[in-house]
A and B are shown apart, each in its own frame.
Chain A
């Protein structure tokens, strides 16, 4: 679907159009459910996450109209996946989990989730701007693959070459993030 059409969908969603919600439910919810069930969640977790994700998109659209660059479905899935990771993180920290949460705290939490998602998107966007070679190296680096395995895997001459190369790629990436006004907004508080 074209970007224009995808954003029509976003707009309709933000207006509370039930048909769009149903469409997204049919298209994306089964994928979300199976992802969450495979990652220590259940059906009602999936429903919570689906609902939160849609609300998050609407909130972002309302506060500063944003554009979904990829397909809506894929984007919604990635938001759900992140929200679920976030939820798992939280559950690790808290023993009791409550289904009814006070509104003000809930709103704080939803807000934090949006801001964290935005940061995550910023970081992904910057990584995508690097050369393919850098992306590949950094991916292995961040997955904590040992240097000597990277040497073998990608056919470099030595540890040192890989080390140097990764160092350069990482500096580029750091610079890209730091120079983005969105990062500075987050930072300057």
Chain B
């Protein structure tokens, strides 16, 4: 292979003219080895400049090492280690309560949020409590689970995450029309998207779709969220009571605290 070091330097330092650049890019496209070389040189610039962090290509997640690492991070053992570390940190910083924890289970962080909200939101309207409880990002991802994830679903989730709820809803509708077997989590996403758009009846309808799916246990909690946002106190209390009828119910603890707040 011809040595292109000078061209690579010029390209990375952006000292080529437009026509030189175009010409070099054509050569690059036809020459995968050269492209790799360019990539390495670019990585070296980032790493050794020592300012920015070099983010890797997600493709490496397919390597054996990556798979082993990932399964460790997902293991029960890693979760235990996290809590050990967290314990040490908490013991050393006894007083503060409102710091975000990356790794403590969702339940723990909610417990903390609740402590904080109990404290701060005494006079809250129900609608404001909704913001405290909905936790949009705790809905499991639709994308990373399946091996071949559905493009429509993926787009819908991205729109949802970008808070483009109207567009997200439209994409979920397309997905529901197109597919025979539906990912139940999509009903939660779609329902919450409707909640954010204040379309409560449509939201409830989505949550009802969860019955007979693996997510059925979550219906009541999301109904509660709907009534909370809608400021419908009686309906809210009724549904919270249903959740509180069994300690094994989804979000039992949260429901308990929420009930106290509502009854204040």
Residue numbers of A with Cβ under 8 A of B are 16, 18, 21-22, 25, 29, 43-44, 47-48, 50-52, 54-55, 58-60, 62-64, 82, 85-86, 88-90, 98-108, 110-112, 114-116, 119-120, 123-124, 127, 138-139, 142-144, 167, 170-171, 173-174, 177-178, 185-187, 189
Contact = CB atoms under 8 A, between A and B. Distances in A.
For this complex, into which size category does the number of interface residues on chain B fall? 35 or more
Contacts of A104: 74, 140-141, 144-145
Given A21-B85, A63-B65, A100 B56 contact: no
Contact of A16 (B45, B73, B80, B101): B80
A116 to B, nearest CB: 5
B74 A116 contact: no
Contact of B88 (A18, A103, A111): A18
A120 B52 CA distance: 12
B137 A98 contact: yes
A116 B56 contact: yes
27 contacts: A16-B80, A29-B92, A50-B85, A51-B102, A54-B81, A55-B82, A55-B85, A60-B69, A64-B65, A99-B102, A99-B109, A102-B140, A102-B144, A107-B74, A108-B144, A110-B70, A111-B66, A111-B69, A111-B73, A116-B53, A120-B47, A123-B48, A142-B45, A173-B44, A174-B40, A177-B40, A178-B40
Contacts of A86: 53, 55
B44 A107 contact: no
A110 B73 contact: yes
Contacts of B150: none
A44 B54 contact: no
B103 interface: yes
Main secondary structure, interface of A, reads helix
Interface of B: 5, 36, 40-41, 43-45, 47-50, 52-56, 58-63, 65-66, 68-70, 72-74, 78, 80-82, 84-89, 92-93, 96, 99-103, 106, 109, 135, 137-138, 140-141, 144-145
B75 to A, nearest CB: 9
A160 to B, nearest CB: 14
Contacts of B92: 22, 25, 29
Nearest to A52: B102
A174 B44 contact: yes
A63 B72 contact: yes
Contacts of A22: 88, 92
B42 to A, nearest CB: 12
Given A21-B84, A55-B81, A174-B40, A100 B135 contact: yes
> Which 8 A-B pairs give the minimum distances between C-beta atoms?
A99-B100, A44-B99, A142-B48, A107-B73, A85-B53, A86-B53, A98-B137, A111-B69
Nearest to B140: A102
Residue of A54, A59, A171 with most partner-chain B CB within 10 A:
A59
B251 to A, nearest CB: 14
Contacts of B85: 21, 50-51, 54-55
Contacts of B54: 116, 119-120
A171 B41 CA distance: 10
A85 B55 CA distance: 10
Contacts of B100: 44, 48, 99-100
Contact of B50 (A16, A29, A142): A142
A187 B66 CA distance: 14
Nearest to B112: A99
A106 B52 CA distance: 22
B49 A143 contact: yes
A187 B40 CA distance: 10
B57 to A, nearest CB: 8
Given A101-B102, A177-B40, 15 more contacts: A16-B81, A21-B84, A43-B96, A44-B99, A47-B89, A47-B99, A54-B81, A85-B52, A99-B100, A99-B102, A102-B144, A104-B74, A104-B144, A106-B73, A171-B5
